[in-house]
Structure formats: C-alpha cells, structure tokens
Amino acid sequence: MITAVRYLPGALALTLILLPFSAPGQQRDRLVDGIAAVVNSNAITFGQVRELLMFRQRSLSEMYQGDELRAKMKESQDAALKDLIDRQLIIDYFNTEGFQIPAYVVEDRVNTIIREEFGGDRQAFIRTLKAQGFSLGRFREIERDKIVVQAMRQRAVRSDFIISPDKVDAYYRKNLKQYSTQAEIKLNMIVLRPEFDGSDNPVEAKRAMAKEIREKLASGGDFAGMAQMYSDDSTADFGGDWGWVDENTLTGSLNKIAFNLEPGTLSEAIQVGDTFYIMRVEAKKPAVVQPLSEVREEITKKLIEEERIRMQDRWIDTLREKAYVKIY
C-alpha cells in the first residue's frame, strides 16, 4: 500500500530569528561530546543542549548568583533537554505519518530571513553562514525542522473549543489581585539616622532633633526645606519627596501609620530601630478593582491560550508514550 503524501499549510506566523546551531564540523565533534538522551534512533547530545542554553544561561547569570543561580541553571538545562526531546518526537511523527513541507515554504522562510535580518543582501547572508561553518543546504534543513515543529503543534490543537462564561468568572475571582490597583499615597518623609561618632548617646541626640523638627513642621515649617537640610535619606535633595507609593513600599509599622494619615497631615516622629521618621501625606488614591466586564475578553484570550498549551502538551505526551526515549 502506498501512503499518500500530505502537505501542511505554508502560511505560518513564525518569529524569524537567527540562532546558533550546529555546523557539520560541530556535528563530528559531538561524536565525543556525550549523549544526553536518545529519541527512537536519534541521539541528542550535550552540545545541542548547550547551544540551546547559550542565551538563556547568559541572561540567568546576570539575574542570579550562588546556589540560586546553580538551581536556575539546572532548571533551564532540564527544560532545554525536554524541549529538544519534544522537537525530535514531533519531527519523527511528521516523517512517520508521511507529511511533507513544500520546498517553496522553506525557501520563502529563508528569503524572509535574508530580507529582514540582512537587508536583502544574500551574499552577506551566505558569508555569515560560511563563517559559522554552515552550508545553505544545511541551513534550509534546520529551518525546515522549525517549520515542521510549529506546524505540527498548531495541527495538534482543536480550533472549536469554547471557554465558558463560568470559567471566566471563576478565573476572575481567583485572580482578583491581577485586576486591582493598590491604594497609594503621595508621601514626603524625613529620615534621621544616628551618627555613631563617639558621642555619649547618638540615638537620644537624633530623638531630640526629630522632636524639634516635627514641632517646627507642625508650626508651619517648610517640609522640603527641612528635608534638604536634615534628612539622611536619598530623597533629601528632592525635599523628601517619595512620590506615589503603594502598601508594599514601606516597612510594616511605617506603612500602617502612613496609610492611616489623612492628606495634609503629619505623623509623629516615629522610631524604628535607631532611625527616626517624620512623614507627611499629600494625597491619596483608593484601591481600584477593574470590573469583570472590562477584562472578560482579556481573560478569555488567556484561557484559550492556556487550553491550547494543554492540548499540545497532551499530544506530546501521547507521542512520548509510543516512542523510545532514554535520558542519560
């Protein structure tokens, strides 16, 4: 029996980005690189995993350090290996089922990359490939595999599912904080820290100063001028202006006092540890919750996307169950 050749649609909305990939010379090096996993008859090497991680781990190293960085690196390595396994499962299924991608779809993809990434300069594109040890034919194969994976993932998702209003309502109630803005105050603050310079009691000296400043402010003194003259805070040059702050900005005790102040009122001199604070609230904004009617469409789109991902994951799981996969 002859299996009919089946073509997948060529109109795919794909993000075009030129990423590092393995040149023929690099593939020979992988023979001694070590095998990370086997999918059916295809080996996935640690070199392939490292290539996929190149940009991810560079970003992680800028954000984390120490044990947290090591944990994030391990997490990203596991995710990269899973991604490579999933890709190979999809490509194997594509080939087994007799699908084909028309050659013009791949050529269109290559031409789009040349146009968007190289300004239409085909020779510059070819020079870049050669510098990385690639032939144009090998690059076409890589782009073909990307198209295959994207097309097959799209094919695995039904387009006729509906998100019920009850499900949208439940998501809204569960994630109400996402659609709420916190209460805010426009805050001015003077911060007085003791100077441990050998004086008898620096904390008491600052307490007396805080009390005196607070009395002057209560009598109509200029808050900004006092802050510029006495405050040990980084906002001193701006007259102690903290701008609009929410309830996550200040420490617990200061936060409670600040948000209980009425606009135009002044706090007492507040001691926290060895430091003294004098706060004034200029204005307030109440917490606001977006009504469901304003965010229903946004939530529906989000739930549709989540369902699409679940469908793709279930499909990948079925491919995995039918395949030989071994991770080393």
Ranges of the chain with pLDDT below 50: 1-32
User: Per-residue pLDDT tens for 298-327?
Assistant: 999 999 999 999 999 999 999 999 999 999
Residue pair 240/249 in contact by the 8 Å Cβ criterion: no
Q: Rounded distance, CA 58 to CA 53, Å?
A: 8
Instruction: Cite the beta strand spans of the chain per DSSP E.
Output: 6-7, 35-39, 42-45, 99-100, 180-181, 184-192, 241-246, 270-272, 275-285, 288-289, 325-327
Mark whether 119 and 226 lie in a shared domain: no
pLDDT at 31 (0 to 100): 40
**End residue of a domain, out of 271, 286, 301:** 286
**End residue of a domain, out of 286, 305, 320:** 286
Residue 27 structural domain: 6-155
The CATH number of residue 81's host domain is 1.10.4030.10
Token pair for residue 183? 């209460």
pLDDT at 199 (0 to 100): 67
Mark whether 147 and 192 lie in a shared domain: no
Q: Is residue 38 part of a domain?
A: yes
Residue pair 85/325 in contact by the 8 Å Cβ criterion: yes
- Number of domains the chain contains: 2
Mark whether 25 and 79 lie in a shared domain: yes
Q: Is residue 313 part of a domain?
A: no
User: Per-residue pLDDT tens for 161-220?
Assistant: 889 999 999 999 999 989 998 899 999 999 999 887 666 788 998 999 999 999 999 999
Q: Is residue 177 part of a domain?
A: no
